[in-house]
Each structure stands twice: as structure tokens, then as C-alpha cells.
């Protein structure tokens, strides 16, 4: 997929040739930038298989170090993103695809794992991980695809729900590593 060259992304004085050079700079590190259009504020970064593999290992290792320091919330956030990268890497590798431009942008781990043929117990655990309860907010539950937001913004979750989610993320990452 060719990145769109949007002058608004770089500024009015950047030529199309300069923009193409900048995109080539991103490409050598496995990232392709795609502009999202004039009315949207962001862009999508498409990452290659090797970059995803490297990053999920880094995130998993960092999660362990942060957890050792006592910060379980940040550790869980890092594990969530590690699991997301690991699942995306496995999907791409199995399909023989180069980068995430071929995937729907999502943080839904169940959606990513569905086609990978997870072992029955892991698929059931992932599907069964419907919600984590928020502490002090009766009736407020955080769905699996939204856990990264809860951890990013510091929403306190019930300890047992958070532990269940963390254990599931660890299992997903281990499975991806062995796949």
C-alpha cells in the first residue's frame, strides 16, 4: 500500500519529492504512514511483521520490569499492547502479508485471535473475558477490547479481574511465541 502524500501533513513548503523521501525513511524501519483525510486529526501507522515481533518482545520484557517495580497497572497496559502486537504479527505471518495495512485497525484481541486457531482452552478464556469491573463504580465494566484505555487512563479495576486479564495476556503472548 502506498502512503498518501498529504501536503497538510508536512506543511506547505514541503515538496512531494521531500515527502516521498520522508516516507522512505519510515519504510526502512518497517513503518508506513497513511494520512487519514482532511477532516480527521490522526494518521494510521502500518507496521511490518519484523517490527511487530521485535516490539511485542520489548513490551513484554518492559512489562515484567515495571511489574517488578510494583506498578501493575502500567505492566498490564504494556502486556495488552504486547499481546496485540504478537497477535497481529501472527496473523500477518500466517497470511503471508507484509504489514498491518492489510488488517482492520483494531485493539480487539478476540477479533485478532479468532482466525489463528488458538487451543480450545485459550480461545474459551479469551472469549469468556467479557468484562473487568471498575472499583467504586457499580455497574461499570470494561470490555476486553477497551482494557488498554482503562489502564492508560488509570481506571482502577477489581484485583481479581485485573489478575485474570493479566494471566490471559501472558498466555496469549506465550502462545504466539510458540506458534
Per-residue pLDDT at 128 exceeds 90: no
Overall average pLDDT of the 145-160 stretch: 92
Give the residue carrying C-alpha cell 489502564: 151
Query: 37-59, pLDDT tens digit by residue?
Result: 434 445 778 999 999 999 999 99
What is the rounded average pLDDT of the residues 115-130? 82
| pLDDT bracket for residue 17 (50, 70, 90) | low
- Residue 33 reports pLDDT greater than 50: no
| Residue with cell string 482466525 | 115
3-state secondary structure at position 33:
strand
Question: Mean pLDDT over all residues of the chain?
Answer: 80
Furthest C-alpha separation in the chain: 56
What does the pLDDT average to over 134-158? Answer: 91
Inform me whether the pLDDT recorded for 65 exceeds 60. Answer: yes
pLDDT at 36 over 90: no
Q: Half-sphere exposure (CA, 13 Å, Cβ side) for 136?
A: 2
Q: Residue 45, Cα to own-chain centre: how many angstroms? A: 12
Give the DSSP H or E segment for 51. helix 49-68
* pLDDT surpassing 80 at residue 122: yes
3-state secondary structure at position 136: coil
**Distance between first and last Cα of the chain:** 27
Amino acid at each position: 500500500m502506498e502512503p498518501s502524500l498529504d501536503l497538510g501533513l508536512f506543511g506547505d513548503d514541503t515538496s512531494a519529492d521531500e515527502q516521498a523521501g520522508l516516507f522512505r525513511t519510515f519504510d526502512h524501519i518497517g513503518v508506513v504512514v497513511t494520512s487519514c483525510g482532511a477532516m480527521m486529526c490522526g494518521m494510521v501507522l502500518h507496521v511490518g511483521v519484523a517490527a511487530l515481533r521485535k516490539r511485542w518482545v520489548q513490551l513484554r520484557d518492559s512489562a515484567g520490569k515495571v511489574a517488578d517495580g510494583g506498578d501493575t497497572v502500567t505492566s498490564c497496559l504494556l502486556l495488552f499492547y504486547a499481546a496485540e502486537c504478537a497477535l497481529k504479527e501472527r496473523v500477518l505471518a500466517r497470511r503471508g502479508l507484509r504489514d498491518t495495512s492489510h488488517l482492520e485497525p483494531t485493539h480487539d484481541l478476540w477479533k485478532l485471535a479468532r482466525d489463528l486457531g488458538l487451543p480450545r482452552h485459550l480461545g474459551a478464556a479469551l472469549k469468556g473475558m467479557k468484562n473487568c469491573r471498575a472499583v467504586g463504580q457499580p455497574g461499570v465494566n470494561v470490555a476486553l477490547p477497551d482494557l488498554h484505555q482503562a489502564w492508560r487512563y488509570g481506571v482502577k479495576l477489581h484485583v481479581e479481574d485485573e489478575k485474570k486479564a493479566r494471566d490471559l495476556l501472558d498466555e496469549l503472548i506465550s502462545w504466539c511465541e510458540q506458534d
